[in-house]
Structure 1
Amino acid sequence: MKNNTFNGMTNKYLHLIFFILSITFCNLIYGQNAQVDSLLQLLEQSISETKKEKIHLKLSKVLERTDISKSKEYATLAQSSSNDSIKSEALNQIGRALFYQNNLDSAEVNFQQSIDILKKLGYQNQAASVGISLGAVQLRKGEYKNAVETLLTGAIYFESISDSMNMAKCYSNVSSAFGELGDSKKAIVFGEKALSIFIKKKMIPYQVITLPNLAGEFLKLGDTTMGKTYFMQAEELAKQRNDKFSLARIYNNLGNMYLETNTKKSEEYLLLALKYKNETRNNDGIAILYNNLGYLMLQKNDPEKAISYLKNALPHSSGTNIATTYNNLSDAYIQTKNYQSALKYTQLKNKVSDSISNIENQKAIAEISTKYETEKKEREILNLQNKNLQIDIERRQNRNLLYIAIGLIFIGLISAYGFIKNSRKKRVIAEQQKELEQQKVEKLLKEQELVGIDAMLDGQEKERQRIAQDLHDSLGGKLSALKLFVENMKEKDEVLYEKIKSVLDDSYNDVRNISHQNHVTSMIDHGLIPAVNKVAERLKSTEKLNVEVTNIDLRQKIKTFIEIQLFRIIQELITNTIKHAKAKNVTIQFSEEEDLLNVVYEDDGIGFDINKLSQGIGFSNIKNRIEKINAVITYDSGFDNGTTVIINVPL
């Protein structure tokens, strides 16, 4: 009875590790909270219903990995949109939340509705992406034929458009399907294909899901070394991201791995998994976790606690997992000498096992049929080859005719594809044009509002440039002339000459520096980051303020207009730090994520009270420049805690 239980669990624990859904963020919890606060502020300021619906969707995505209920709530608010594009995305988000809550039937309905709308709109790529989630649901429900068909159809599509990321997602889920069907070798082949893409793309969240999946398959083949190695790698990556969602799955798998060999270590891992599942309010795989805990309590001769865990598993169990739960309950009641209840659960287990046995028989028949058809085709090919050796001339003629026919069919398919694509494109353009007309009024109002801001900032910039030019041409020239006059004093009083010359040199350099700082267009000829680096080097040379500039992964070319505004904002922030913060160090980081330029400015100064944020010219200028480039800025500061400023700019 123990071996059946353990084997059932081993066959099912990978049920936790489906490659579920795309993850739209990799930020730390602090950054996520700041993003939520920023979106809530935008929501309060928004008047347009369409804009509110889009913000609701963004909030749903941000909260997806930390508060599933809240994520579902915001997605539901966007579902009633009259815009089909927004509605399809909202249905997808609701489906994801239901999937994490283990409400599989409802999740499948929402995913299918989203796909139907996307196909109607002609958004084939988005429809195929949601299809990955649909395949994951079918896989979880044990509908292996439907799951494999859905996922391989998606893989073929993504291969045709060279979309390696979505190809990898399909491979990962197909790997899980083969794992469930007991073909660990094929599961490893597809899993490692997916993992290699995720590593190449540096997509850590996807590695965290794929690594335990592979670990389980290696354990099935008896390779504990590779299994443990992959589990440890997954745990390390999840800890780096503080990903409690993934840690719960990993610790459940590790607990399962040690069930038979080290009950103490197994219990530690399983209780950690339960803790993280409760914190994230995630029921994904909760049945297997309770089942593992129940089985562990049976090992420790604590049947009462085992029964408690196993009954918690029942509402979430299905397939072979519910058979395992019934079996463990029967064993638990035998330990308590409650033979009537033990018999009840034994009968339930046998009933489910008979059903599963029928399914397994169907799979076996299908595999035999496939093998037979394959061998039959191989024999036909061999006969055909022998025949072709006898009538080689006729074969060549037929081959040439076949090439011609294939060429004509290919040309016809290309023509048909072009016609269908053009018709679909026209329909999409017509629908998008309608949406654009609705947005024109909003855009016009916004543009009129920014006219005043543009005029003010342009005036400021021109005045800065005029002052810089005047300083350089007038005062700089006069200082240069004065240096020539002073040369005549060298013979009369060399000491006085050296003093005056030193003061003149310093003055000239100050004028030159001020001129360059105000003439920002010349400073950013080589780009924003080199310009900020120049400012940093000048400040370092004063030995009063250390400024470090880091470019994490910014690759896109930034428009000169945006570079100028960001450079002015950074200058203003540095000025505030020098005047008020009493800081010794400043760090400025540039990074890029999903067509957003992210700038993080931090100092180690005395900070300030954000609730009493100054409304002076400096902060007013920053606000106006932020609006001008359609950016979002967030301040975080407190007394003796320094200041952090986060700027997100659409590229």
Structure 2
Amino acid sequence: MKIVLIIALPLFCFFTGFAVAQNDCDCNFEDYKEKINIINNRDSLEVSKLADQLKSTKIPACIFKSLELEFKLYLAQLKLEKSHEALNKLEEFSAKTKCENQFKFSIYLNKVRYFKLTNDYERLSDFAFKALKKAEELKDSDKEIEAIKKVVYLFTRMNEDAKNWDYIKRAQKLIFKEQEFIQSIKNYRWLAYEYEKKYTSTGRKSLLDSVFIFAEQSKRGALKLKMHDELAQSYRALEAYSYHKGEARNALRFIDSAIYFAERIKGSKNLSGLYLSKSWDHLDLGENELAVKWMDTSFAKIVSNDVAGLMMQHLDASDLYEQAGRLDKAYKSFRIYTKMKDSIFNTERVEVINELETKYKTELKEAQIKKLIVLLVIASLVIVCIVLVGSMIQLRKTKQKNHELKLAFEKQIKLEKELSDVRDEIAQDFHDDLGNKLARISLLSNLISGEVSIRNPKVKSKIQQISEDANGLYKGTRDFIFSLKSNSNYLEEVTTYLSDFGGDMFDKTKVKFVVNKNISNNIKLPYHWSKQLIFIFKEALTNALKHSKSRMVALSFNYNDQELVIICEDDGMGVLESDLESLNGLSHMKARANKIDCQLTINSSIGKGTTIIFKGKLKENSIE
């Protein structure tokens, strides 16, 4: 009993003292949170007025908030020197108070904002992960959401969107739980943007429904409170939704609404992205001259020191100018983008940022393990007060075994993660390097083709062939790059890849394409299976379209009792059984199945179509 009291009393004192120390560390000045969320950071008059009111309270937390308001104002006005001075004042004031630990999150997040504007991505990543870790320590979901947003921004700028989705889904769970109305307006708009980005990279149409729902929810709240900044961004999300749905006129209507509200934002603002979207809408409507005009306007509207934004603007511009027939402008923008990308994201910098993320995850795991160990120790001490002293010997043996198992498990996880990281890095480097060069070959070929005289058709034909070969080579490498990625080992990814391929291929034909899935678990495939499965069934679907003369093609995925069965069948003209072995494409498909110790059966007869059946046995530990 004495041992329990010895442990409990310090814990009680610690938590009680902590609660008392919180009094000066919370700013409950009137409806401060509501005011600061509605006031735009660029409105210097309103910001200064609120800052003075906060300082007059003489409460440390409110004074800290007033200094933070001044920092954000300078940042919005792009006054880097003054914002740096204000950031230093924040740190100095925090260090003099008893609330330094509670203020640390805000310090970290404000440093992220500053380094975002100065394009210092190494220090941005350092403080983004520090902010996330601090938010977790404080168990504050609002702070955690804000920190996750910065991490997502970081990986988006690094072109590592594959890392973002886990963080986005983690923030989404927290956003769905929150009750604060004004903050939810911003958070739902952010979700709409991130879902739209995910759609552009995956093409999954179900994501568009979420974009519309999130954007509408944000818009309704912003209209109610007349938040022009959020209205502009919500309408921008609705424009993207309509654009992807092929509703160009609706998209143009939404983007004009976004520009209308954006123009009413007080203070400095960056409208280049809105005019860029307007340009794409005109291009989609076939209005090429207007598209070029508004693209030129978007460059005039961009903030001069937004280097990262300007870089991505030139990438979009090169694509739009090319489609609008202005190859001279397209080539110029692509060269600027490449040069800026090389200067901002060199290999060493990306490696440093990835190391910081790994460090954050490692520290997070260690903190969780330490917390678990502390709880186990306390529980063990309570048990010692009740049970016999002899049980301690058995407890020590159990702890030793658990420790050895934990070390073995951590070692296995570390090795698997290192292999996964290497595969993803190889795939990314291969894609970036080859993709940039092939895009440049294609762009230069188109440019030269336009300059070659029409009197020399042979030369022009060869240049066009170079462009087509470059495009074909780039498309042909996508299967290989997909198989390199670590998540390609999962059956769900393979089924999605083949379903999307079939959907795109049969979309503009009279053939009905059907996909059936009977998979209840997340199946991890053995290494190299995904590559062979993709090659086998892409060949099967292509043959069905080109040769079968069928009206319907069905692709089925079934998993039961550790056995994977994939079936591709059509109702076409069929092939004589005697001719099956002589067809090279079919024999190559069987050879690929044999490479991974699986079975491929092909059944066909004249007038009854063709059925291709793949069967493979998986180990029990493949299910996750």
Q: TM-score if structure 2 supplies the norm length?
A: 0.46
More relative contact order, 1 or 2 (CA 8 Å, 6+ apart): 1
Q: TM-score if structure 1 supplies the norm length?
A: 0.44
From the CA coordinates, give the structure whose radius of gyration is larger. 1
